[in-house]
Amino acid sequence: MKRSLRTEEKLQVSREIGTLSIDLGNTTTVVAFQAETDQEARLLDLPPITRTQGEIPSLVWFSETNSPSLLIGQEVIASGLAGKNDPNLSRDFKRWIGDPSSSDKKEFGLTPEKAGELLLTAIWEKLPTQLDIRRLVLTTPVESYRTYKSWLHDVCSKLPVDEIALVDEPTAAAMGAGMPPGSKLLVCDFGGSTIDLSLVALEGGEGKASPIAELLKFNGQDLHERSRQVVRCAKVLGKSGIRLGGRDLDRWIANELLPQVTQSENILDGAEKIKCRLSQTDLRDSEQLIEVVEDQKFLKLSREKFQELLVKRNFLTSLENLLKQTLSGGRSNNCDLSDLNGVVAVGGGSKIPLIRTWLIENTKPAPFLTPPPVEAVALGALSLTPGVRIQDVLKKGIFIRCWDKRSEKHFWHPLFLSGQTWPTPEGLEIVLASSQKNQTHIEIVVGETQAEGSHEVIYIDGIPTIESISKEPVLKRLHDIQLSIPLRPPGQPGEDCLRIKFKINDQATLFLEGIDLRTRESIEKQNLTTIT
């Protein structure tokens, strides 16, 4: 009996206890691990699904009739299925997770959420047996933080791990660049499906605690939607994003060079290969590269022509607009380029020379930092320990409709402006008056601003196209808000009746509470809407 116990103890000692980080990407997913006793993290090799150490192609092939029924990552490529237009193949699916209503959504055999779940589950199943994962840290894009977080929670809550934490990709990238706590950075993430620009102020410095990730699960207990932890916030001072990424650039290349040919996966993969080759530092701008994609079909492109293509497609114009939006949010938080400790470019698209040159020229005097572009986010996430949630900023202003006694007309009064941070600890108080004789109710009407001077991506004949949005701010009533507060006794014209406080909580819910100024009776808390 004693001998058996000693053997069990030996096996336990040989296991590596630590944290696993997964950065799910649109084209590449990165997996890293850091043991509790190690100072450095390492990328994991998970054969047969990894392409290189730590990198898994974001590919899922699933069939209910064929055998094998499920292939993940490099398995799909090794089986020769990655280049086929097969309804069983799911790729480019990350961009659609958390955005199920998009009119541009690609048709999948699997839902994007299910494809992502199969990929994450396969990663867990392929982990080396000697790893004892006590904490799982996941990353999420800024643009769809809340819906993406909910999906990740549903998937990963089934995994046998005591702690699950979440960090947004820009903050993880900043940490991956090796910047110290307290730094202010512009993080530019050029992914396979999105471009995200964020001004990030890392918590910490000058004796303050460092940033850590949002905790979804702790000590085996699910904290999603009900955590009351006191959090320290890594603050996003300004941000902007667009659903345009590396795979869209591949489509542009394919459409430019083979305009009359249907964009098969073989052609798109060839476009991706030539795009990557054009990013090599020792290449002359005029040098022509050739990539054979199918019998009698090839792609021929130089860096010079590729750059002209990006300009023609309004890519740099879109970047300029995203940078203006991001810096505008930063200025409202007293932060400009001169205040930054650095500019961090991550994601596969950050290797493209035109993008790097544009960033360097347009973000002076901030220093340009060059962390490993693909794995920076996953490695940065490992440096964040559970307990902190990101304090976000509003992308749209929120207004309430009020009655002007002097002009006897309704007008929109601002509650929260675009660029303000949330959750809002204090909220905003407003006094509402009656506008009619013997008024029995006050209706709460809330609106939000539409995007100002930005760009969006629409698909024309399957080709991503950047379209401008009007620079004039437009107010849109939120029709999902239907709230009428009774007045007892009825109000009279011009009489101040209600004092209402509006707040946004950490679940992005806009709610109100208040009192009747005449009777001092409390108004029950009412949830109005979830901000977007």
Residue ranges per structural domain of the chain: 2-177+206-231+371-392, 394-530
Q: 213: how many CB neighbours lie within 10 A of its CB?
A: 28
**Residues 2-177+206-231+371-392, CATH architecture:** 2-Layer Sandwich (3.30)
Distance CA 219, CA 94 (A): 29
Rg (CA), the chain: 26
pLDDT tens-digit map of 162-211: 888 888 777 787 778 877 778 888 989 888 777 889 888 876 665 555 55
Q: How would you classify the pairing of strands 184-190 and 342-346?
A: parallel
- Burial grade of 278 (CB within 10 A; 0-12, 13-18, 19 or more): buried
Confidence category of residue 13, pLDDT binned at 50, 70, 90: very low
Looking up tokens 């001092």 gives 520
What's the average model confidence in pLDDT over 312-327? 94
Strands (E), 256-327: 288-294, 297-302
Q: Is residue 3 predicted with pLDDT exceeding 50?
A: no
> CB within 8 A of 40, min separation 6: which ones?
34
Under DSSP, is residue 232 helix (H, G, I), strand (E, B) or coil?
coil
> CB within 8 A of 456, min separation 6: which ones?
242, 243, 466, 467, 469
Q: How would you classify the pairing of strands 131-140 and 16-23?
A: parallel
Distance CA 282, CA 10 (A): 52
* 136, 154, 178, 222 from 225: Cα distances, Å: 18, 12, 32, 9
Confidence category of residue 392, pLDDT binned at 50, 70, 90: low
Q: Is residue 318 predicted with pLDDT exceeding 90?
A: yes
Q: What is the pLDDT of residue 472?
A: 53
Token pair listed for 389: 């949630």
> CB within 8 A of 400, min separation 6: which ones?
412, 413, 415, 430, 444, 445, 446, 447, 502
pLDDT tens-digit map of 350-363: 889 999 999 999 99
Distance CA 34, CA 19 (A): 5
Distance CA 427, CA 415 (A): 9
Q: Is residue 6 predicted with pLDDT exceeding 50?
A: no
Question: So what CATH class is 394-530?
Answer: mainly beta
Q: Is the dihedral of CA 49, 67, 119, 190 positive or negative?
A: positive
429, β-bridge pairs: 501
Distance CA 336, CA 4 (A): 64
What's the average model confidence in pLDDT over 133-144? 83
What's the average model confidence in pLDDT over 109-116? 90
Q: What is the pLDDT of residue 71?
A: 95
